[in-house]
Amino acid sequence: MILLAVECSTKVLSLALFENKVLLEEKIVLPSTITLAEKILPEISQILSRNNLTLGSLTHVALSTGPGSFTSLRIGLATIMGLSAGASFTVFGLSSLESMVHGLREKGGILAPTLLAGRGQLYAAFYNATQEGVNLLEGPFVLSAEKFSEKINYYRIVSAFGPGLELMAGAKTVPVGADIIPLARHLGELAFTGRFQPSVVDELKISYLLDPDLGINKN
């Protein structure tokens, strides 16, 4: 099983290549003057080439389906749809927020990943991480920092993390880090847990949550 994980729900492009559950290579591409649309295909081609693989070698792709940047998510989906025309891989469509939780699951307790949603809002969800696994408690949703603080107070002890914390002030959280972002490595690991079923790329649905024009919840 050769799996390529593609995470582009933020301004950072992240790729990870796996053979079965073994990570072959991870590549993180920081924002630059080169747009995501211009660099995503070359980066995918290069990571395959460096590992002596071709597009035809891929059996699976793990793609972040959001929530996150409206434009970046559309570019990611369009890219994988285009590549699928010349390949036979199936696709895991996975939550960017849950992949963040997967990376911190060993911390345990109530975990609340956040991402910036624009217009003074953030994306968030609440998960419970135990030795048995990770369970979604609530979300994902888009909401103001004030509403998020109210939910944190409801759960009392919460490890909140991610870029959305930039909007928080005085919330009762256990600090983890505002610099923690979704990464392709965790997306790929999530695909290997056996909790998700792959599908053909045409069946993928992006979790936009926020209307890009009106700034309102689309769910």
CATH code, domain carrying 30? 3.30.420.40
Using the CB atoms, write b or e for 147-183: b if 16+ within 10 Å.
Answer: ebbebbeebeebbbbbbbbebbeebebeebebebbbb
Neighbours of 111 (CB within 10 A): 27
Same domain, 88 and 101: no
Same domain, 35 and 118: no
Cis peptide leading into 67, omega within 30 of 0?
yes
Same domain, 161 and 188: no
Same domain, 119 and 48: no
Same domain, 84 and 11: yes
Give the torsion through C-alpha atoms of 135, 137, 140, 143, to 10 deg: -150
Q: What is the predicted pLDDT for the residue at 131? A: 85
pLDDT at 69 over 70: yes
**177 part of a folded domain:** no
Give 131-171 pLDDT, tens digit per residue: 888 999 999 999 999 999 899 889 888 899 999 988 876 55
Integer Cα distance of 24 and 66 in angstroms: 25
Q: Percentage helix, strand, coil, to 5, in the chain?
A: 30, 30, 35
Same domain, 37 and 48: yes
Taking the CA atoms of 37, 115, 159 and 94 in sequence, report the sign of the dihedral they define: negative
**118 part of a folded domain:** yes
Same domain, 87 and 11: yes
**31 part of a folded domain:** yes
Residue 137 belongs to domain with CATH number: 3.30.420.200
Strand positions, DSSP E, the chain? 2-7, 13-19, 22-29, 60-64, 90-94, 109-118, 121-130, 133-144, 159-161
Cis peptide leading into 198, omega within 30 of 0?
no
Number of domains in the chain: 2
**17 part of a folded domain:** yes
Integer Cα distance of 217 and 181 in angstroms: 22
**217 part of a folded domain:** no
Give 23-41 pLDDT, tens digit per residue: 999 999 999 999 999 999 9
For the chain, helix (H) and strand (E) counts, in that order, are 5, 9
Mean pLDDT of 109-118: 94
**213 part of a folded domain:** no
Cα angle, residue 83 at apex, residues 77 and 89 outer, rounded to 5°:
95
pLDDT above 70 coverage of the chain, percent: 92
Count of alpha carbons within 13 angstroms of residue 49, beta-carbon side = 6
Same domain, 92 and 106: no
Give 166-206 pLDDT, tens digit per residue: 887 655 555 567 789 999 999 999 999 999 999 998 888 88
**159 part of a folded domain:** yes
Sheet containing strand 2-7, strands side by side = 22-29, 13-19, 2-7, 60-64, 90-94
Cβ atoms of 123 and 141 closer than 8 Å: yes
Same domain, 86 and 187: yes
Same domain, 118 and 40: no
**53 part of a folded domain:** yes
What's the whole-model pTM score? 0.90
Note the Cα 202 to chain centre separation in Å. Answer: 19
Domain that holds residue 190: 2-96+182-203
Same domain, 40 and 57: yes
Same domain, 10 and 53: yes
